[in-house]
Amino acid sequence: MATFEYAPAPESRAVVDIASSYGLFIGGQFVDSRGGSSFKSVSPSTEEVLAEVTEASAEDVDRAVAAARTAYSRVWSRMSGADRGKYLFRIARILQERAREFAVLESLDNGKPIRESRDVDVPLAAAHFFYHGGWADKLGHASLGPDPRPIGVVGQVIPWNFPLLMLSWKIAPALATGNTVVLKPAETTPLSALLFAEVCQQADLPPGVVNIITGAGATGQALVEHEGVDKVAFTGSTAVGKAIARSIAGTRKRATLELGGKAANIIFDDAAVDQAVEGIVNGIFFNQGHVCCAGSRLLVQESVAEAVETKLKARLETLRVGDPLDKNTDVGAINSREQLDRITELVQAGEDEGATRWSPDCELPANGFWFRPTVFTGVSQAHRIAQEEIFGPVLSVLTFRTPAEAVAKANNTPYGLSAGIWTEKGSRILWMADQLRAGVVWANTFNKFDPSSPFGGYKESGYGREGGRHGLEAYVRTGADG
């Protein structure tokens, strides 16, 4: 397929000031660590060091939880919902005003294309604050149960794939319901959370309502295990989610866990093929496939498998892989060397187990962490690439003959986060959606998000919902709850 040549259209990085080093955001101020160390945040597209970031110590975690407790009991839990809502609206508006700055910073620190950070991550993050700001004074009408009240101090730990968006999924509902938070962003993507700390200052949020502590897994562990934390909200891998569930078992802590996925994107023979191909591309190559609900298993009805494969490959030849700050870029950098190694290992396993590997013929930049969009055909259900979450731009294609076979194959996974169905038949969509063990089922679309729509998993994809009225439930006590 012929493609146009585009001149580079780089977004300016001058719109964002990155400090050479950052402290921790505790009690409304950036403070130095007590006894912690530091680490570097690196741009995955160039391997350039962006900033030196603090690795919080156990004592720092203690200080952050204490600051959150003080803010909770003295200010935030006593404030009216209407007043809390004003702060959320203010934060939402500042995120919109500073959208370009956030988008550039996110693309630099994470490696995702500016087109996505600009059009998806940042607008959705602002939308989450607007949405939850609207609930703050209406909690008594949200069918949450009698007398909904905040829980207390929430410890929140998030991954690196949507750093600002995951922060907003965590902080907006917690604040709307009257809780205070200590949040730890992922080690490889701390910078947008630190810029968000500045937004809290700009919005005059009372000190201690939001605390941001940076660090690695040990800091996250110290936070979720801290006895001053009343609720844990975690998004990340199933392995760490299980470890957290074990560590808080038997305590009074509540928890919501948003974990991994291995979604089936199911194409029936009556689907509009060109639209379905766009949906497949969006499903697995959006954000380099670093998406928990990515459509990483393509299930195609056998009679159209060849036609879909041909069109899909032609479409993938047109994808532009490269500089995340270039507005023409479709696929950016892999977030870290560690993640690149994991993708490479699983792709090798796919070849070793006998599946057929294909990638478009695209050049990759010399520096940084990159992986070509990859499609495996001839995949069987037992292959590791059909069972394990790759969390990269790698699609495994399987076929089916009947709807019942599609359901059986789609559900043949330890996960249950999302699924996609492509067909012209409304009745089939409803029947399939009913059979699929997945928290979200998209029909004739994929990767659509809205703050009013609950998101979460079954089985090893975790428990609890985020977003919508259901997402509020995790942040309130009701009736006689202690």
**What is the Cα 385 distance to its own chain's centre?**
21
Instruction: State both tokens at 85.
Output: 């809502």
Give the active site residue among 292, 309, 466, 473.
Answer: 292
**What is the Cα 192 distance to its own chain's centre?**
14
Least separation, in Å, of the C-beta of 418 and ligand TAP?
A: 9
Give the integer Cα–Cα distance in Å for 398 and 384.
Answer: 13
Give the integer Cα–Cα distance in Å for 365 and 132.
Answer: 41
Least separation, in Å, of the C-beta of 470 and ligand TAP?
A: 14
Q: Which is nearer to ligand TAP, 49 or 272 (CB)?
A: 49
Give the integer Cα–Cα distance in Å for 392 and 262.
Answer: 12
Q: 3-state class of 427 per DSSP?
A: helix
Q: Which is nearer to ligand TAP, 44 or 403 (CB)?
A: 44
Cβ contacts of residue 333 below 8 Å, gap of 6+?
44, 45, 111, 288, 324, 368, 369, 370
Strand 49-55 and strand 21-22: the pairing is parallel
Least separation, in Å, of the C-beta of 456 and ligand TAP?
A: 7
Q: Which helix (H) or strand (E) holds 419?
A: strand 418-422
Least separation, in Å, of the C-beta of 236 and ligand TAP?
A: 3
Q: Which helix (H) or strand (E) holds 81?
A: helix 81-97
Buried b (16+ CB within 10 A) or exposed e, 195-209: bbbebbeebebbbbb
What residues make contact with ligand TAP under the rule CB under 6 A? 157-161, 184, 186-187, 216-217, 220-221, 224, 235-237, 240, 243-244, 258-261, 292, 389, 391, 417, 457, 462
Asked whether the beta carbons of 446 and 265 are under 8 A apart, the reply is: yes
Active-site residue, 258 included: yes
Give the integer Cα–Cα distance in Å for 441 and 275.
Answer: 17
Least separation, in Å, of the C-beta of 464 and ligand TAP?
A: 10
CA atoms within 13 A on the CB side of 45: 22
- The DSSP code sequence of 267-300 is E-TTS-HHHHHHHHHHHHHGGGG--TT---EEEE
Strand 356-358 and strand 374-377: the pairing is antiparallel
Give the active site residue among 11, 55, 258, 473.
Answer: 258
Least separation, in Å, of the C-beta of 132 and ligand TAP?
A: 16
Neighbour count for residue 74 (Cβ, 10 Å): 11
Active-site residue, 200 included: no
Q: Which is nearer to ligand TAP, 136 or 213 (CB)?
A: 213
User: Distances in Å between the alpha carbon of 57 and those of 64, 75, 240, 400?
Assistant: 11, 27, 20, 52
CA atoms within 13 A on the CB side of 169: 30
- The DSSP code sequence of 156-206 is EE--SSSHHHHHHHHHHHHHHTT-EEEEE--TT--HHHHHHHHHHHHTTPP
Helices 403-410, 426-435: crossing angle, 10 deg rounding: 30
- Enumerate the active-site residues: 258, 292
